[in-house]
Amino acid sequence: MNYVRNAWYVAAWANELAPGTPSAIRILDDPIVLYRTESGRLVALEDRCVHRLAPLSLGRCEGERLRCMYHGLLFEPDGRVAEIPGQDVVPAQARVRRYAVAEKHSWIWVWMGEADRADEALIPNAVGLDHPDYILGHGHLDYAAEARLINDNLLDFSHLSYVHANSFGASEDWARDRPKITMLPRGIRFERWVPAQSGFRSGGGPPVDAWSTYDFLLPGILLMPSASHPAGTAEKCGFGPPDPALPASGVTFTSQAVTPLTDKTSRYFFSWGPRRDCGDEAMRDMLMGVAAMAFGEDKVMIEAQQRVIDTTPDPRIMPIGSDKGVVLFNRLVDRMVREEREGNRAAA
């Protein structure tokens, strides 16, 4: 799998990891066990006992430690074996890999590179479920498809006109018009206006100009605020970013994360909801209903795409104009993966 390892991947919703209950996840095909210690500390270890390779996710939490429930080896939070029942000496090499782990924005993040190189400043600035300004719903979907195919989907919104004609009701302007694209140090920013004549309406009210912008950041994180403005605002702004002081309605935020589990399976995390001054729980539930339909449409298409790829000898794509964001992001990933590998060889 061609993915950056020196990055934070979303492993779970924080509220789904119960204290004292180990949980299994695969990221980049690495088996990982997550657990909360008695003191509340988050731990992420290789999910594979050093003795007989039994999964530690079937183990038992004991205070700060995790006991393998096959033959009883007891593991410290740093991965070292602290105890082997019936054996006085614990070999120095008796340890499993420790992963750097953090809880932020209601997600549990795992750094897939060397734990000592983990930098929490690189965690993308998502909006958590406890953010005081937003009312958010959340969920996740599992895909029988490579994560890169989901990333490609999120990097090219021209598909909204066709895949999401029923859910979002997007006009074909999404396919015809190109957003402004700006490279960021670890991702890409997309910006565009969807003027009133394109058919966007706010809750069945008068036509509005919709401002749409989002960042797509390594390793596969989408952060997207959206807002509606009175018709004519886009032209007044010269089709550039609106002044935050301008009147706005329908302000929402969605945070989304794509996590590669294996080379052909992925988990897609998402939240969405209105800003408190623009909506309530009923609007949140309406938006989540739309999201469920839309993300289901994506899932059907992307999993079908994966099946075609799997049965096509030497599969190749033909790039088109709307692929600019896809190409730029994948080049960024390829460059960073190459630099990681060169750095690893130099250190060897």
Read off the DSSP letter of residue 18: -
Categorise residue 204: left if φ over 0, alpha if ψ from -120 to 50, beta otherwise.
left
Is the CB of residue 108 less than 8 Å from the CB of residue 120?
Answer: no
Q: What is the mean pLDDT of residues 104-120?
A: 97
Which residues, at least 6 apart from 206, have a Cβ–Cβ distance to it below 8 Å?
230, 231
Contacts of 149 (CB under 8 A, 6+ apart): 302, 305, 306
Q: Is the pTM for the entire model greater than 0.75? A: yes
Residue type, 49: C
The answer to which of 177-186, 204-213, 215-224 has the lowest mean pLDDT is: 204-213
Res. 206 pLDDT band, cuts 50 70 90: confident
Judge whether residue 199 has pLDDT over 50: no
Mean pLDDT, the chain, whole residue set: 93
Domains in the chain: ranges and CATH:
8-122 (2.102.10.10), 137-332 (3.90.380.10)
First and final C-alpha spacing in the chain: 21
Confidence of residue 190 (pLDDT cuts 50, 70, 90): very high
Contact assessment for residue 226 and residue 251, using Cβ atoms and an 8 Å cutoff: yes
Number of Cβ within a 10 Å radius of residue 87: 11
